Structure 1
Amino acid sequence: MQTSQYTESFPFLSFCFNTRRQQILIVLSENPQYGLAIKGELEDYYGNEVNHGRLYPNLDELVERDLIAKSELDKCTNQYELSNDGYDLLLGELNWRLSKVVTGEERTEDITQLLDNAT
């Protein structure tokens, strides 16, 4: 089996980069946020409650892997920010997904329209 460029750059991906962690990185790509704000964005996306007991271990794992940085906002609140490695990982993931989805002119136009709408 061929090893991807991103698996070589981030060898731990095979066991730790699940969908929830990826979505946390996506939320943080917009701007730094505190834990409850991240939770709120994920709940808006899913339409149901996100369990604290699952969110914070995922945040801790992303901090441990240097994909996000954690700082103290005040004595009770931590803020999380996407790191350069986290951003590179998101770009790599997006590149891989687009390489699989964009298979012709019509799909290229669809993606171009999505990008135009996002900016």
Structure 2
Amino acid sequence: MSLFELTGFQRDLLYVIAGADKPSGQMVKERIEQDIGEVKHGRLYPNLDTLVERGYVNKGQHDRRTNYYAISDSGLQALRERRSWESQFLDGE
């Protein structure tokens, strides 16, 4: 899998999820808002669903009202490959 088909926002969500321990959607929202400003639910949850559908993120339930998101093995591998790809351009500076 490749992260090239994702939007920048989706990649950012993936990094936030990778850096947390099964965050809820609300926790992901609060964390990413620290860096980019307000994120509407109508933008957040469809993008989280895309990450789940593409197999980068696993979705489960904390309780009957709260879902959690966790990076999948393929999501973690895709992030590592992306970082390696980015490094080839930064290391030459």
Alignment match, 1:25: 14
Question: Is the aligned partner of 1:40 residue 2:30?
Answer: yes
Aligned residue identity for 1:35: G
SS in 2 for 1:49: coil
**Structure 2 unaligned residues grouped into runs of 5+:** none
Deviation of residue 91 (structure 1)? 0.4
SS in 1 for 2:60: strand
SS in 2 for 1:33: coil
Match of 1:94 among 76, 80, 83: 83
Match of 2:54 among 56, 61, 65: 65
Q: Which has the higher contact order (CA 8 A, sep 6+)?
A: 2
Deviation of residue 100 (structure 1)? 0.7
Deviation of residue 42 (structure 1)? 0.6
Deviation of residue 25 (structure 1)? 0.9
**Structure 1 unaligned residues grouped into runs of 5+:** 1-9, 108-119
* Match runs of 1:45-56 below 5 Å: 45-46=35-36, 48-56=37-45
Deviation of residue 45 (structure 1)? 1.0
Q: Post-superposition, which runs of at least 4 consecutive aligned residues in structure 1 deviate over 3 A?
A: none
Deviation of residue 99 (structure 1)? 0.6
